[in-house]
């Protein structure tokens, strides 16, 4: 198989993005929703060694964190995960692990797996992969070819008691599963900083959404 075929799934979602992280403010006056959204287009590396370049198989993975605050309601923070693979019978597992400074947290999807199948044209792109060396990232250039692919989705609720933990974590890694195949998604220092910024802003916005307590009624 051609070298370009072996990595065709790495860059489809990333080829249209200049930056791997994008944060936007939400202020929907019609639905009465305020909040923020962070999208990160990342690279997952299979835990299974194979005959591809450097013995690794790469996956394109997109993470979207959404904080929504409605008037007189508790804030809701969700994580939407989308991954792209060649057509295969395996599904994206409902379990995801967050490795926060070597502390492993398990989240279970709040919905059933969704799958979408499509085709794409030839493209040539360069993407970066987080590494353990000083440069933090490895650049991979690859050419995609015509072919069918599938997108798989899951959504997870991030409990409020994890927000501070993530905001204060130095090293962040995700572990996904497609069937029984483990996929590791490691954030670079820049990607981790953006995620921590998102959670710090989420914590502040959540505090501001509660009405101020009069001085005479404060317990401390």
Question: Where residue 110 falls among pLDDT bands split at 50, 70, 90?
Answer: confident
What does the mean pLDDT of the chain come to?
80
Q: pLDDT tens digit string along 164-175?
A: 999 999 999 999
Between residues 132 and 89, the one the model is more confident about: 89
**pLDDT of 131:** 64
Between residues 202 and 138, the one the model is more confident about: 202
Question: Stretch 59-73: mean pLDDT, rounded?
Answer: 92
Reply yes or no on whether the pLDDT at 45 is more than 60: yes
Question: Stretch 163-190: mean pLDDT, rounded?
Answer: 95
To the nearest 5 percent, what fractions of the chain are helix, strand and coil?
15, 50, 35
Q: What percent of the chain has pLDDT over 70?
A: 69
Q: Are 93 and 176 in contact (CB under 8 A)?
A: yes
Q: Is 215 helix (H, G, I), strand (E, B) or coil?
A: helix
Reply yes or no on whether the pLDDT at 125 is more than 70: no
Q: Are 140 and 58 in contact (CB under 8 A)?
A: yes
**Euclidean distance between CA atoms 121 and 146, whole angstroms:** 5
Q: Is 195 helix (H, G, I), strand (E, B) or coil?
A: helix
Question: Where residue 144 falls among pLDDT bands split at 50, 70, 90?
Answer: very low
Reply yes or no on whether the pLDDT at 30 is more than 70: yes
Reply yes or no on whether the pLDDT at 123 is more than 60: no
42 burial type by CB count under 10 A (0-12 exposed, 13-18 middle, 19+ buried): buried
Question: Stretch 67-83: mean pLDDT, rounded?
Answer: 92
Question: Where residue 51 falls among pLDDT bands split at 50, 70, 90?
Answer: low
Q: Sign of dihedral through CA atoms 110, 112, 113, 115?
A: negative
């Amino acid at each position: 198989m051609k070298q370009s075929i072996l990595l065709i799934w790495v860059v489809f979602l990333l080829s249209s993005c200049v930056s791997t992280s994008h944060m936007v403010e939400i202020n929907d006056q019609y639905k009465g929703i305020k909040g923020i959204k962070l999208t990160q287009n990342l690279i997952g590396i299979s835990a299974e060694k194979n005959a591809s370049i450097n013995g690794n198989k790469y996956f394109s993975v997109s993470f979207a964190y959404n904080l929504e605050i409605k008037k007189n309601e508790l804030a809701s923070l969700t994580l939407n995960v989308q991954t792209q693979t060649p057509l295969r019978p395996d599904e994206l597992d409902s379990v995801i692990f967050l490795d926060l400074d070597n502390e492993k947290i398990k989240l279970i999807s709040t919905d059933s797996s969704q799958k979408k199948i499509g085709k794409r044209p030839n493209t040539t792109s360069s993407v970066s992969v987080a590494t353990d060396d000083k440069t933090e990232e490895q650049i991979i250039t690859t050419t995609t070819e015509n072919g069918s692919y599938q997108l798989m989705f899951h959504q997870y609720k991030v409990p409020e008691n994890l927000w501070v933990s993530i905001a204060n974590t130095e090293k962040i890694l995700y572990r996904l599963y497609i069937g029984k195949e483990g996929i590791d998604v490691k954030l670079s220092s820049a990607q981790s900083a953006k995620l921590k910024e998102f959670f710090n802003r989420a914590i502040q916005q959540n505090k501001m959404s509660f009405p101020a307590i009069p001085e005479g009624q404060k317990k401390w």
